[in-house]
Amino acid sequence: MFSDIYVVFTNDDGNWWSKFLHKEIKHCFVIKPDQSHYIVHSKTTAKFDLFTSWNKDDILDEPFIMCGYQQKETNNNLLMLNTCVGHAKQLLGINNMFILTPYQLYKHLSNQKRQENETTKSSKANC
């Protein structure tokens, strides 16, 4: 299935709460390909980033995990958390209020991809 939006999961040890998150997945942001460039949407503690890049290698730092996703219609939720996960869920159209951490979002996307692959009889189960 074609993915029209991508979620990138990275490690981020720069915050006091990082020690409470998964050891390798502590931050996420969204990349949307648009013709010959990429639109990047990222929310951090200090700032909100929205920019375009011509080269995806300028955006991605090792190590990272990237999951493709078919974007869904967004429900304008008044209770959206102002976090990287809240912004990513809003862009993806995910309305599950119990997904709070980047790792929970990663597991949700991985499980959904696995279910799609089982219905299409594909052997790929990773993001």
Q: Residue 85 belongs to what H/E stretch? A: helix 84-92
Q: Cβ distance 28 to 95 under 8 Å? A: no
How much of the chain is helix, strand and coil, in % rounded to 5?
30, 25, 45
For the chain, what percent of residues have pLDDT higher than 90? 42
**pLDDT for res 3:** 64
Q: In what order do the strands lie in the sheet with 65-69?
A: 48-53, 37-43, 27-34, 5-10, 65-69
User: 74: which DSSP letter?
Assistant: P
Rounded distance between C-alpha atoms, residue 67 and residue 120, angstroms: 18
Coil, strand or helix at 11: coil
For the chain, what percent of residues have pLDDT higher than 70? 89
Average pLDDT over residues 95-116: 90
Residue 25 has pLDDT above 80, yes or no: yes
Nearest residue to 45 via CA among 77, 75, 86, 5? 86
Residues 34-84 pLDDT 10s: 888 999 999 888 888 999 998 878 888 888 999 999 988 877 766 778 889
